[in-house]
Amino acid sequence: MIPLLILLGLIIAVVGWVVGLYNGLVAVRNQVKEAWAQVDVQLKRRYDLIPNLMETVKGYMSHERETLEAVTKARAAVGGAGGDMDQRMAAESGLSGALGRLMMVSESYPDLKASTNFLALQEELTSTENKISFARQFYNEVVMRLNNKVQMFPSNIVAGMFNFTAEKYFELENEAEREAPKVDFS
């Protein structure tokens, strides 16, 4: 009778251990989804700011059509990316680059830089970009936590049994965005 109770206790302990690992994996997977949703909220906020920024800039930069069209195309690409995370990350990277070029070109227009509407939109965009950066950082931290659980022993055994997979990090697609901006006061 005692060996049977020991065996039963051992089975209960193993089942409890597997349940604990499984619940931990589910919790981290849900954190990854929530972190991506936070990134998505900030990206949507930036996406919604762009039409107002473009309308303000158009009046001052009528002959910078190429820059304006690049931002418009990049914004459309984000809208068309849908739910696929890889396409969305690539489209967002393109939009970031186009907005950066727009801000650089805007430096050549003193009247535009003095416009209170433009300054308010520029400040809002800067604030949003900072929030996007923090949300991406948090997303990558949670992805790392999930990937560690999926790949490290002993939780990798439970992850394999229940088809948990590693997630992709949110990385910059454009290598130029990794470089520090050059400041020239000449």
**Which CATH number is 55's domain given?**
1.20.1440.20
Q: Quick check: is 185 in a domain?
A: no
- The pTM (predicted TM-score) of the whole model is 0.76
Angle, in degrees to the nearest 10, between helices 85-106 and 2-58: 30
At residue 181 the predicted structure's pLDDT band, cuts being 50, 70 and 90, is very low
- Identify whether 169 is part of a domain: yes
> What pLDDT does residue 8 have?
93
How many folded domains does the chain comprise? 1
pLDDT tens digits, 92-129? 888 888 888 888 878 777 777 777 888 888 888 889 98
Write the pLDDT tens digit of every residue in 28-86.
999 999 999 999 899 889 889 888 888 888 777 766 777 888 888 888 888 888 777 78
For residue 180 the two structure tokens come to 């520090």
Indicate the residue type of 180.
A
Query: In the prediction, which pLDDT does 134 show?
Result: 94
Q: Would 6 be classed as within a structural domain?
A: no
Q: What pLDDT score was predicted for residue 175?
A: 55
d(CA 174, CA 89): 11
Cis omega before residue 3 (within 30°)?
no
d(CA 45, CA 52): 12
Question: What is the span of the domain harbouring residue 165?
Answer: 43-178
In a domain, 138, yes or no: yes
